[in-house]
Structure 1
Amino acid sequence: MGEEPGAHVLRLLGLEPHRLVAGFATEERLAADLRACVDLVREEAGSGDELIARSLAGVVSGGKRLRPLLALATAYATRIGAPGPDRPADRERAVRAGAAVELLHVASLVHDDVMDEADVRHGVPTANVREGNIRAVLAGDFLLARAVAVACGLGRREGALVSETFARLCDGQARESALLFDAARTEGDYYDAITGKTAALLATSCRLGALAAGAETTEALTSYGHHLGLAYQLVDDLLDLTGSEERLRKPAGHDVAMGVFTLPVLYAREEDARLAGLLDAVRPEDGGTVREVVDLVKDSSALRRTRAAVEEQTRHAVGALSGAAAGLTPAGSAMLSELVACLARRAH
């Protein structure tokens, strides 16, 4: 089930962020390294008991592979990892870093699908639909264990980092779940949740890539990944309200319907007193109320303010690279700067 790895990687190279990194590292190198990441993820996912492997069939296919892309891009951007004569050991470490974060990401998605009672992921029936919640949870746990094992192959600190990152993902999800359908959710609550749910994993992707290349500037690159992750989630939350159903593969306002009141909604609530009452009344099956909320958000300054928040996080991400300058090539620093700008452009 799912797209073949070679075809999947070729399709990814047509995406703007991947083209950008390929322009720096060469398309041949990025394609080979991404393919190696995907192959390792599939190998690890299929290494368990037959029931686990069946639960994960197709689950590890698809997706944009943003986290391995960040791990590879960060490794490429360091002086040690810069394009030049092949260093097989360095490249293998970068590939393992990318595979570790992708396994961790997919593990979190499998668990998210159980909690959300989702039916499809990347065009493939979810593990919980095909095999039931119990096996799906076990499959997600298995992927987590393999993520830690792959990271431990890089070193003890890398294994500990992946383990700690998963704990932060759980913390972010718990914070969000505790305030579902809560019209009193605050901006601080929102940032606490996405710091764990999204930013932690993107920060770890960059940190692991830097460690894999032997860089000494891991703190600055971790900060870069953190702010990139916040910007990325803010853009996703904007698109949930403004994107077409065809692009989103779900109705606009899906987060609102599921009780996740994101920053644009919170901004709009500050301006329009009607929103507090509407948010109290939101239920997943009540499409009319959800559409009314979405319309009020669009009529407010909330989208503009959220785009400003994206720009602020983008500036912080680029600013963090100045602290990493000693370990980056000038071209590598420019590539990482453009990469965060490229991901932020989705907001417009």
Structure 2
Amino acid sequence: MINKLKSIAKNHLVNVPGWRTNRKIVVFESDDWGTIRMSSGDSLSKLSESGIKVQNCHYVQNDALASEEDLEGLFNLLSTYKGVAGSRPTITANVIMTNPDFDKIRASGYTKYHNELFTETLDKYPEHKGSFRLWKEGISEGLFHPQFHGREHVQVMRWMSALRDPDSETRKAFDVGVFGLSTTVTAEKRKSYMASYDWDDTQSRDFILKSIANGLSLFTSLFGFQSLSSIAPNYTWHNEVEKVLNDRGTRYIQGGRVQKSPQMGREKFNKKRHFTGQKNDLGQIYLVRNCKFEPSSNHNIDWVDRCMSNIKTAFLWKKPAIIEMHRVNTIGFINPQNRSRNLKKLDQLLKRITKTWPDVEFMTSDQLGKAIENNE
């Protein structure tokens, strides 16, 4: 009961400060598109057999590059719903632009980092060869809207250092094409590899800032437009990251209520709180997630009810409903049941949203940012 009351209180508190509107705006923000998490079902089995506790993390168990079947299932569902003025429930797909090139890293003796565009990674899988074509179709149909999430979803220097130990679980994962071993599944005592903007020293800081600038260039080159919004992996970034983003046209900072800012030479993060509509010193606008739909993470929660409650609270405070929904919830490449079960729940959620609020407006993150900027 106490935990439930705390959850309700937090749900209201995140909505108290910031920009308000009478419009019923709903945004779906979905992270991790483009990045490898689990390379295949065979890789998952090998890691489990080696003693790695894969069952402790739903990302490790279920997340992977989106196959053609994954994308078709998602887009077919989204296309059946509409909000006012013809708006569609569009996925703001926060994209990781590259993956490690495992072969080249191995050939270097684990001394040099190499990467490849995620489109090159997709081409290596028979089930994914048409995936990027479907991305482009989803974009043109207003169902899928890429935004920048990072060049890679790995803290490169931390990961490369660990790879040099041939007996490490990190190396075992590398050998089956996996870098994203969560700290919850490994016996290794270490910081996260997934927080790719979490720098440890000046060398890693400089590498990370350059990688972000390069990643944004790759984004513009591939998609033909600038990413007006962005979100840091694992909600972890220093304010210096915002300047790099701003210099390249990114105006809106997606995130959670708390920013975890790395402090050089210290283990703990400096935590900063944000709210939707808040501006930083550069004039960039924060967009703070206030709703959650993550059915893959816990099957014992009624995620449709919980998310509907989150949305009702947001609208009560005259706030846009910004829904966190990671890619893993739509993926069936490793575990088809994960996709089918969660798409049914997403269908139920969209049905209830459109029935409860016939005047709902579906937006992308950057559309919301523009609405706030122009006070529309």
TM-score (norm 1): 0.32
Flag the structure with higher strand content. Answer: 2
Point out which structure has higher relative CO (alpha carbons under 8 A, 6+ apart).
2
TM-score (norm 2): 0.30
Flag the structure with higher helix content. Answer: 1
